[in-house]
Amino acid sequence: MSDRRPRHPNRVPAAPAPARLVPQRPLSVGALRAFDAVAHHLNFRAAAEQLHLTQPAVSRQIKSLEDELGAVLFVRGTRKVELTGAGTSLWRVVAPFLEQLDGTVRQLRSRERRAPVTVTTFPSFASLWLLPRLATFQQAHPDIDIRISAADALVELDDPEIDVGLRYCHPKDAPTGSTLMFGEVMTPVASPALLARVPLKKPADLVRHTLLEEDDHRPSAAYLTWHHWLREKAPPRLAPSAWVYLNFTYQQIQAALAGQGVALARLAMVSEALERGDLVEPFGDAGRITSPFAYWLVRWPARRERAPLAAFEHWLLEAAEQTRRELGAIAASPGDAADPAGAADATKGGRRPRAATAMQSP
């Protein structure tokens, strides 16, 4: 009989040694900056001078980073330092990352120092009048940031985020302290290509053209319609070949530029297109009519007065003066135009809405 003891059938075999855990902590930006500096100079002393640290401090950061990664990043020789393969791979990622990070930080700090001047206006005016002229202000004042808040919804006058508004209303409705920029002049415009196909020498020729009409039911729109212009300038009961109705002014101008018809345009918003020759006035000055409504610079009561705002406001008024010269004497006195048929109903009894709601966004 054997004297060997039987093995214990329930004994659990020893567990294998646990695998080495890979650190999951995010890397320190400070260590990455030290690595970037050494990789750039391939010299620990030069890196330390760049970072305003001691050379031993930089060496400790590199050693800590290598321990975190489990990889050697530099081959340290007696007279030179070289990147290893792992170091080269890491630097390809770290260098652009730090450059982007520093750029973002500079922008954020700049924004804190340079609060933008915020202007509210309606989209068509921003697109067709303000933006085409804004480059001249930016060239003269590259250190002033501008934020344009373009929306059809009117912003309340107590909004603390707004500095200045560019609005459209009757002189009786302009808020206290507003400054007249220029009046309203309407004129037929069309593309040269369209007029080459279908000549337009006199108002009676409109019977052969499509008229581009702004579909608007506000009080000011009564002065801006083709129906009003035809009553003023065309033979009685003239009917065009077709109508196209559009919601916004800029759509009307885009359609005219595309040769889709003749637009009754706000002259202030197409002066640059006329100057470039993209649009033409087939009837010249004789085709122009006015409206009692006008464009106003409105100063927000809650704004903080400062030099950049004063500079922008001064430029706006200079640009408005240039537009007044382009419009000529015909737009010198807004508020004097005779009411077109149907317009009187919009302000029955001579009463107009209060200024906060009467400013419009054509």
- Residues spanned by the domain of 143: 123-358
**Burial status of residue 26 (CB atoms within 10 A of its CB: 0-12, 13-18, 19 or more):** exposed
Structure tokens at 85: 């393969």
Query: Do 104 and 169 reside in the same domain of the chain?
Result: no
Q: pLDDT category, 275, cuts 50, 70, 90?
A: very high
The length of the chain in residues reads: 362
Query: Do 45 and 84 reside in the same domain of the chain?
Result: yes
Q: Which of 320, 307, 290, 308 is nearest to 179 (CA)?
A: 320
C-alpha distance from residue 100 to each of 90, 95, 263 (Å): 16, 9, 48
Q: pLDDT category, 352, cuts 50, 70, 90?
A: very low
Average pLDDT over residues 156-183: 90
Cα(317)–Cα(324) distance, integer angstroms? 10
Cα(103)–Cα(244) distance, integer angstroms? 49
Strands 242-246 and 179-189: unpaired
CATH number at residue 43: 1.10.10.10
Query: Do 158 and 39 reside in the same domain of the chain?
Result: no
Query: Contact 206/238 with Cβ under 8 angstroms?
Result: yes
Q: What is the pLDDT of residues 119-132, one digit of tens each?
A: 999 999 999 999 99
Per DSSP, what are the bridge partners of residue 212?
Answer: 244, 263
Position of tokens 């209303």? 169
Of 113, 142, 167, the last residue of a domain is: 113
Query: Do 225 and 330 reside in the same domain of the chain?
Result: yes
Residue 202 lies in a domain: yes
Residue 14 lies in a domain: no
Of 113, 147, 182, the last residue of a domain is: 113
| Tally of domains within the chain | 2
Query: Do 312 and 174 reside in the same domain of the chain?
Result: yes
Residue 107 lies in a domain: yes
**Residue 64, CB-side half-sphere exposure with 13 Å CA sphere:** 16
pTM: 0.63
Residue 73 lies in a domain: yes
Cα(277)–Cα(328) distance, integer angstroms? 19
Q: What is the pLDDT of residues 337-347, one digit of tens each?
A: 555 654 444 33
Query: Do 223 and 261 reside in the same domain of the chain?
Result: yes
Q: What is the pLDDT of residues 223-262, one digit of tens each?
A: 889 999 999 999 999 999 999 999 889 999 999 999 999 9
CATH number at residue 211: 3.40.190.290
Residue 187 lies in a domain: yes
Per DSSP, what are the bridge partners of residue 81?
Answer: 76
Query: Do 195 and 303 reside in the same domain of the chain?
Result: yes
Does residue 276 carry a pLDDT above 70?
Answer: yes
**Burial status of residue 357 (CB atoms within 10 A of its CB: 0-12, 13-18, 19 or more):** exposed
* SS3 label, residue 217: coil
Cα(37)–Cα(58) distance, integer angstroms? 9
Of 94, 113, 132, the last residue of a domain is: 113
3-state helix, strand, coil in the chain (%, to 5): 45, 15, 35
Does residue 357 carry a pLDDT above 90?
Answer: no
Residue 130 lies in a domain: yes
C-alpha distance from residue 231 to each of 239, 263, 342 (Å): 11, 16, 13
